[in-house]
Structure 1
Amino acid sequence: MKLLSPLIRFGADAEELFKNKKGSEHQYEVMLAVAQVMSSSLSLHQILNTSLEMICEQLNIDAGAVWLLDEDGIKLQLFSHFHVPQRVLEKLEEEIDVRSDPIWQQINEGRQAILLEEYPKPELAGMLKREGFKALAAIPLIHHERVLGRFGLGRRNDKPFTEKELRLLTGIGEQLGTAVANALLYEKTRLLARQMEAIFDAAQEGFLLVGCDNHILSFNRAFAQLLDVEPNDLAGKRCEFISEQLKQKVKDKNLGDLLEHINLIETNPNEMIEVEFEMTEPNRILSCYSRPVFDEHNNRLGRMWMLRDITEERSRQEEMLQLERFNALGEIAGGVAHDLNNTLLSIIGYAELLTHAGLDERSKTFAERILTSARDAAHIVTRMRAFYRAHRESSKRTLIDINQLLKQVVDLTSNRWKDDAERKGITIKVVTDFKDVPQIEGIAPELRQAFINIILNAIDAMPDGGTLTISTWQDSSQVCVAISDTGIGMDKSIQNQIFKPFFTTKEKGTGLGLSITDRVLKELGGTISVESNPGNGSRFIVCLPSRSIKSKPPEENESFEPHALRILLIDDDSRSLEVLKEMLKALGHEVVTAGDGIKGMNKFRQRLFDLVITDLGMPGMNGFQVAEAIHAIAPQKPVILLTGWGDTFEEEQLQHTGISNILRKPTTLKTLQEILSKVVSK
């Protein structure tokens, strides 16, 4: 009716003109004929072409043309023409700038048809005269006081346009302007509908709309594909058809839960459901979401269904879970291996010393058997350690864009900070501030897991919602990442323990997430720290080296017998300390021992030593810190790092901390002698 109302008024105007003016019957017929054209179509070209032809024929006009204003309101473009000579048409097709066009200025100000004594452009005016045109008129196309364009008419005979004709043409221009506006709106609406339909049909998620009578109204291609049915099978069906298809194709283990949800919405149409299930044919996992659709007055219009293939997503989550479990096993195995290596060091060390202690033949045989069994046990520990490290050591480090990786992490965790949060009725806002930073070298899956662990902890710390902020920046030769939340925060006692395996403050937590993250980052030469206060949220800061990793130069095999050395031996394990002392003395060296790093540094400052052997894992001051402290006092002093963890170290890390070589537990007299020779020879 909105589209027809201008035409109804147009008919009323025509009827009034007929009643009040004698001899206007022909003009009345023209107006009604044009009104019929405008009401019969919403095609812009058809309306303008037919209307222009009818006006010319009914009013004995020889030629005509219609121009429409562009969207910017600056240029007039030829849109339709009737019986315009070819030479003239070529000139009319040129764009007209309304800012400098006198005809436009007249009709835009007067809003009525005008007579043209002569066309303003001399070249075109000459052409019109040569073609015999003697009477010209310009008429505005008006809609809601806005001029949308104009049409021009020309006669070759001597009959001028009368005042009555100009009033008629002004009225036709107003009604034609309304028809043009409606046609343009229709075209825009059709274009928008086609674009929306294309987007709807191209979506990877499957969508389906059902009316209140349970008949299917619309669906996209993905919905039919995910349901594994032909699109023609869905068209016109009732919603029960979908339920039957799901019942046939869902695995038995999920069927009960699915039927419960379907029954729920059948008994309560206003209910919203979300359920996951595994299909049998084809074998995939789907997420099904369904909710009612309401209009602006809260009247139910129907129901929307969405199907999403989450097979790969669940596969990735399962891989991450397996990796976390495997890493947890690695943490346990690593701890066991460390303790066993300390014990085996004592067994192997003392057994070797016994074989050189001048025992009788029978006792020496027993000592050699002990030594053989202990070496076999050490080999088993090495194989166990290699097993839990194999998946990481086989992975090659590559150049990584940390900003891109973090974007992937944000996307991978969106089900927690967006979907789960919305279901709980809370909002978690994610803010990113990524600076232009260099690439780093690392193993992308491990780094993703590390950052996912941090983000999931941050989400769990905001039970009432909040803001998660992720930022990156460069600090000297490091790339840093900060992940901040506005959650409950934590006190110092918790901060001191959060990176320890199996420590958790959650009811269902494993206590492994942050410990794995800490280990992954340390293996890449990075660090992680936390800033937090109760009630004020937490901020985790990760820094990773941006430098490339250099390959370790090949070692030269040299035979060198060191003279008697004065050695400082530092280890917090008393058994390891004692047996290594005896082994070094058996090799002819003077040994001073210390039970931790701080005591060791005190003794180092008091006496002169040829070299230092320090354990890696010690309370208060670890082996790296001891090496750095010694390097600061005596840069040329050799330091051997003793470890039972089976760690791998980069050459740059060793050089940076002043470590000359690595001695792994359990060791033998031969290995100990070779490492001492190598270090002293340098």
Structure 2
Amino acid sequence: MHYAANIAIIRIFQKTKVLRFFCRREEKKVKSFNIKWKILLFGLCAALIPIALITTMYYLYLRTEIRDREINRFTALAKAKKNYLLLCIASKENRVIDFCSDGYIRESLEKITHGEYRSTIIQSLTKYLKTAKLPIDTHMLGIHIVDTEYNVIVSTDEKMAGKNIYTEEKLLTNMDFTQKKVYLYPLHFCSLCGMKGFHIISPIHHLGISRKEPLGYLIACFDVSAINEIFTDYRNIGDTGEVYLVNRDKIMITESRFVKDAPLQQKVDTEPVRKILESSQEMVGIYTDYRERQVVGVSIDIPDCQWILLAETDKAELFASLKTLGIISLVLGVSVCLLVSCTGTLFAASISRPIQKLKAATKSFSAGNFKGRVSLRRNDELGELANSFNSMADTIEREIQYSSHTMSELVKSELKYRSIINNTTALISIIDMNGRYLLINKEYENFIHKKTEEVAGKTVHDILPRKAADEIVIHDKKVFETKQPVQYKIQVDSDTGQHTFISVKFPIFKADGIMYAIGSISTDITDLKKMETELLHAQKLQGLGVMASGIAHELNNILAVIDANIQLLIKESKGRIKLLQALSIIREQCIDGAEVVRRMKEFTSTSVDPRKMIQVNMNSLVNNIIVFTKPLWKNIAEGKGLKYQLNTDCLKNVPNIKGNSPELREVVLNIFLNALDAMPEGGTISLSTWEKEGYVFLSIADTGTGMTDEVKAKIFDPFFTTKKKGMGLGMSVVYGIVKRHGGTIEVQSQPGKGSTFTLKFPATAEELPPQPSSKDDAGKKRKSKYRILLVEDELAIGKILENLLSDNGYIVQYVNEGRKAIDLLSKECFDLMLCDIGLPDVSVWDIIKFIETVEKKPKIGILAGIPDIKEKYKNGQLLAFDFIITSPYELEEVLSSVRRVFDNTV
């Protein structure tokens, strides 16, 4: 302590020039003092901490003991108050029972009941109660005797005579005197007496005769002061203690020490009251009272009286005795802390500065400043430690200077290596001798969508598809065995499709010549192969195009001459029927030949007429094709017992594309018809559209027979076909149209698993002419009050027609069953019923006959898949409908027919 105190004094006065020399001498003396003695000195001071802790723990123990003792004392006080209360109530009840046993009262009541000298006996009995009974108990406010009809016969209060206590106070309700001799009616304000009090009621029985029914009842009313005397005795409960009663309505019924006029007015909605009312659970503890003060309280339930007894005192007063003990403990603890802090500070001051210097030097050394040294002139252990550190720093500095150049070269080499492997487009990987990944480059990470950390320690079977992984393992074994590089071609499936790689595998050796890993460099040649295929295909098409163009030109000339001469012969052959028939057949063949020539010219065309370029919505195009081809996949197919399903749930909102609408329609129609042909036993066609990175995509997938790789490779070649009929120009024309529109077409197919054609076109933001609409104000959306009932069993067609009519302002109710249509027609009014002719459950003719029975008859439109239906029901002679549309039909034709029928109505 002597030396530590000296250090503190020295540093306080060190700034003065007079004491500077003395300070240096004393500080040097302290520094030379051995550290273990300083630690011993600090330990002696720290030994006082357990004493402070023991004192604090003893205080906590005493605090608990004192608190429990005070709470137990207060609980005992509350129970004593309860016992006093019950004794008081019992004495009052016994007095009332004694009154009911009085022979004079019973005899007088029997005479009154029998009507003998009634008025005289009532006066005599009243006087008897006032003089002989009422003075017995000073707390008794009045005595009333009532008959079995609850009418007051005799009362010490004359104004009570003749009143019915049941209607006034309902005192005798729910009281069973076969179980109890006496009842206590809880404290309340009695409107009969006009005072605050409680009633004790007991039956008066017949003299000498054992009867179940009483003669009447005696009711004694007692003043609340009888109870208040018990609870206003504040001895032994301090300055803030009080004991009071609360009824089941949470209202205080005795005097309060702190609130004036509290009985039957003060609300007591506190935690102990709620616990007793909700769960009959009494409480001892700390809570907030009705004055919003923290109190220590006890709650006791008195169920017979329907009361709750509460004994409470302020928390601060009850635990006041703990305050002094707490102050003593706090002072002792603070004193010990100050003493230990001072000695610790003095001890730290003698060693903290050199330790801080050592710490700063080591931190600077670890940061790369190898020139830093510790300047510390001491003769103790810290001085020896500083000298050892300086010696170590000198040695390390020499070693670092020696290796820094080598490290710099290694870093440069590593950066070059990393830059090369992470910026190449090839997939680079290194695996160990167990086939587990050690490293992959950025391109490899992008291909498998995993980081190097995720694949480290895994095998190729954990990362790549099994087929590719098996092939890679075979080549790895060759490198293991031969220790020579191996080159091969491999195909790997990924989420972006199938990729083709040229891979080179090579052994990696340690410095001692032992092989420890295999490196792999794989170059993706998928796009190169695709470009090569497309180039070959383009060259083939170009050659065929040149040839087809020349043939088409020559054939056009020949066909034109033949057609012209046939037309002349037809004019000159009047009356020669057989000749005319033969010439007509020849002319039809010429027309068919001209169509083939037109398609050949279309195939060879390399550009689109810009005047015919418009904005085309792919979804509208698809919907038109679905409606146009309905007779094929719906009516005719069902007639053959086939079932085709169309899935259009994935038609998303997509931007328009720029193109020739008829040509694009031909593309979609050709693929759609091929899909139907590929499903001779029926199946599902799924149509999807989406937009991605400025392109619009259309996918047409079927569940048909599929194609082999050989067929798939030739599908776009002109004159190639797998059908018995046809020239094989359909898909080649499709390919040419897609290419002219700047798009691409891809095919995915496997035998027995169906085919998927995916079309890709650039989305357009140019201002182009809109897609043509109907002649009757096409494209203008009308707001209409007309309600249309649409009945179409095919959901795909129904949704298309529903959206078409709704978008044009009509109120459309769509159902897919005839029975539902009849049910709606019986309940609601419609302006038009547009119904498919081939409903599976109810005939359209039955629906039309039902319409004849309704009050408001809608217009009727028929959607027919039978080509000659107009001839069978010409002008509606057999059936009463307003218009009929036969397949194939355009959506605009449906819209025009609906508008015409409503325009005629107006």
| Structure with the greater alpha carbon radius of gyration | 2
Q: TM-score band, normalised by the shorter chain?
A: under 0.3
Q: Which has the higher relative contact order, 1 or 2, with Cα contacts under 8 A spaced 6 or more apart?
A: 1
TM-score by length of 2: 0.21
